[in-house]
Amino acid sequence: MWDKYSKHSFRYLSLILIGIGIATTLAFGRSDRDKSFETPVHSQETKPLKFNIGPERDILISGIGTSDDFGDALAVADLNGDGQMDLAVGAKEHEPGSVSNLGAVFVFFGPLTDAAISATNAPLTIIGPGRSEIAGASLAAGDLNGDGIPDLAIGAPKSPNGNIAMTGAVHILYGPFQPGNITISDEADATVLGPLMSEATGTGVAIGDLNDDGIPDLAIGSTLAGRPVVGEVAIAFGPIGSGPMNLPDVTDLVITGTVRGEDAGDALSIGDLDGDGSNELVVGAPGTGFSTFDATGRGKDEGTAITRIGIFYGPLENSEEKIKFDDAGYIIKAPGEDENEYFGGAVYVGDADGDGVNDLAVGGMGIVVGERIGTGQVSIIRGPLDDVNFFREGDHWSNQQTAKIKKAANLIVSGESAIERLGSAIAIADINGDGITDLILGSNGANSSNGEETGTVSVMLGNVFDREPTPEASGTGPITIFAIIAIVAVVTVGAGLLYIQKIRKAPTVA
Ligand SMILES: [Ca+2]
Ligand SMILES: [Ca+2]
Ligand SMILES: [Ca+2]
Ligand SMILES: [Ca+2]
């Protein structure tokens, strides 16, 4: 009897061992296949690298108050002159002392190395000039007065121009900057004022040499300028003087939107994208039109659902005639046709992959990813962006002036949560001081430890193109492998028990 039972136990043990063998084979086979899928791909002929900011962020900077819009604008430069890059973050709806929508800029002097940073501890806070002026809606850093030290340009699209309300303005503070708590009204060295009410001058701003004279120039976006309202970008060649000045008096060149309500100039960036030594101007037009009312009061939807960016190749020259958006060297369109993707609400020219050639990053803070409505997305196209390398031979969109970002993107970072609006602002710079450029992304609707919807800024340290995306927790990772092992084990044990039961029930043969 004992011999017989032990014989059956041996068979049962064999079954279990076979089961484990099958499970192990399946598990290792699975993991090998996963690895081959995860190999980074960098060329435009293949799919882009895709990241979720959640598991990838190395530094999280939290805004202060609910609906502050912290992270709606970013600028990087050595603002205190110590040789390290510093980060300025706009929060256009910050309300210190309950003054509505004063707006503020928080400056964090580099190198930044802590994993969690709060704007409550920002060493320098610059408070907006007046109630409801939404200072910090846009930011740019660069040497505007020619002393070799970076200055800060702060857009406030609802600042007044004398007696004219809500023209918008760009307030300029000359560097270097010290720690402290200052106000724009006390400290501004120059102010460029919009000419007309409600044109939203200062929704976009950028600093860089656009006419090849070696002196940084100032580009200012007014998203509600133009008749019909299309948005405009005014370019003032540097150096920029001191004191208050009217925008039309210093403007050398205007780029005008071509689609009603497209908000041309909402985001601006300057840098050499084709590697010829002259800078390009990248203009975002994230608007989808707006509803108007006809004579009978009936609503009329003029939404165009075209959100796009235009690349204007430098050098640019003085011009009496306005340059039309549709005359851009290249135009890149939103990933979808949906409204509110806000594609082009942030643009940044910088070297994200460290190959010495600038790349182009574009934010769409309203883009839906999976179930995550309004989570936002940032796409990076590797440079050089010239007609040889950008619109590659062999792709069906080659030799065309326009492309969809889905065809052009080499790397995509998506938001972690719904309505966080990742891509509200972008900067590319070495912020932790290790000599390698980092990717800095605003999420102006994100929750933080300071409260709901304070807005945050996330930093991915190092070359993002060298990363392997962290597998999604719910995907085909180790969980699937354990599930396979568990199923095989259960089946094996079950079969073994049935086998033993069968033997016990079998009639004894004499
Ligand atoms: Ca510094
Ligand atoms: Ca210049
Ligand atoms: Ca160029
Ligand atoms: Ca590059």
pLDDT tens per residue, range 20-40: 555 544 444 443 333 333 333
Cα of 24 vs centre of ligand 3, distance in Å, is 55
Distance of CA 329 from the midpoint of ligand 4 (Å): 20
38 versus 395: the higher-pLDDT residue is: 395
pTM of the model: 0.83
- The pLDDT assigned to 471 comes to 85
Q: Is the pLDDT of residue 70 over 60?
A: yes
Ligand 1 centre to CA of 5 (Å) is 79
State which residues have CB under 5 angstroms from ligand 1, the bound ion. Answer: 78, 80, 82, 84, 86
Distance from residue 83's CA to the centre of ligand 1 (Å) = 5
From ligand 2's centre to the CA of 239, what distance in Å?
7
Q: b/e per residue, 149-184, with b = 16+ CB within 10 A?
A: bbbbbbbbbbbbbeeeebbbbbbbbbbebeeeebbb
Q: How far is the CA of 358 from the centre of ligand 2 (A)?
A: 19
**According to the model, what pLDDT value does residue 158 have?**
98
Read off the pLDDT band of 500 (50, 70, 90).
Answer: low
345 and 367 in contact (C-beta within 8 Å)?
Answer: no
Q: Which ligand does the CA of 315 lie closest to?
A: 3
Summarised one tens digit per residue, pLDDT across range 180-236 is 999 999 999 999 999 999 999 999 999 999 999 999 999 999 999 998 899 999 999
Which residues are CB-neighbours of 337 under 8 A, at least 6 positions away? Answer: 305
Give me the phi and psi of 315, to 5 degrees please. Answer: -80, 150
Q: How far is the CA of 268 from the centre of ligand 3 (A)?
A: 16
- In the prediction, which pLDDT does 266 show? 98
Closest CA to 19 of 476, 487, 482: 487
Structure tokens given for 236: 């003032």
Alpha carbon of 213 to ligand 2 centroid (Å): 5
Task: Indicate the pLDDT class of residue 84, thresholds 50, 70 and 90.
Answer: very high
**Looking at residue 28, what is its pLDDT?**
44
- At 288, the pLDDT band (50, 70, 90 cuts) reads confident
How far does the centroid of ligand 2 lie from the alpha carbon of residue 150, in Å? 15
Cα 158 off chain centre by: 24
* Percent of the chain surpassing pLDDT 90: 70
Task: Tell me what pLDDT residue 16 has.
Answer: 55
Q: In angstroms, rounded to a whole number, what is the distance separating the alpha carbons of residues 449 and 243?
A: 40
- What gap in Å lies between CA 238 and CA 102, rounded to an integer? 29
